Amino acid sequence: FSVATVLNSGLQAMGKSFIAIKNVLRALIFHVLYVVAMLKVSGAILGILVTGSILYSATMCFGNIKSLEKYFGCKFRTLSVIAKPVLASVLMGVVAIATYSILSGLEFGNFVSLAVTIAVAVAVYFIMFYLRDDYISKGVFTRSNKINID
């Protein structure tokens, strides 16, 4: 959600408020249609609202990315900014579940098991995301020589 909000603010700051509003409206319509359709076929209200919010943010985010790429000639580094953190989070979750299962099976107690699990999970995420990623040094967007963003 934060990436979508930052990109939305970026479009507005660059004088493309109408485009940002169109992307928000498109995402909101998709969100409402999804929630209404899913509520008719399922009773999992909380899950539907959560997934609907995620889909709203993703729709708004990708709409804003495409708009920035189209109007300002820049390329969003999707792999570094979105895919790598998601993969690092998934791996961190798997390692955390495994660590907690092993430690609680050895009966270290809930507090010790949780403390060690959190430390291991943070270490895995840090190694997978921060030490192996280059988006901090290269930036979020790469600039094309076709259009001047000034």
* Interatomic CA distance for residues 37 and 53, integer angstroms: 14
Strands 141-143 and 74-76: antiparallel
Q: What percent of the chain has pLDDT over 90?
A: 29
Count of helix runs (H) and strand runs (E) in the chain: 7, 2
32: pLDDT strictly greater than 90: yes
Q: What is the pLDDT of residue 138?
A: 55
Going by pLDDT thresholds of 50, 70 and 90, the confidence category of residue 30 is: very high
User: What's the pTM value of the predicted model, to 2 decimals?
Assistant: 0.61
pLDDT number for residue 4: 75
At 103, list the tokens: 């430690």
Determine the Cα–Cα distance for residues 29 and 20; give it in Å rounded to an integer: 14
Question: Band of the pLDDT at 118, cuts 50, 70, 90?
Answer: very high
In the chain, % of residues over pLDDT 70:
83
Strand partners, 141: 76
Gyration radius of the chain's alpha carbons? 20
pLDDT of residue 147: 46
- What pLDDT is stored for residue 134 in this prediction? 54
Which pLDDT band holds residue 92 (cuts at 50, 70, 90)? very high
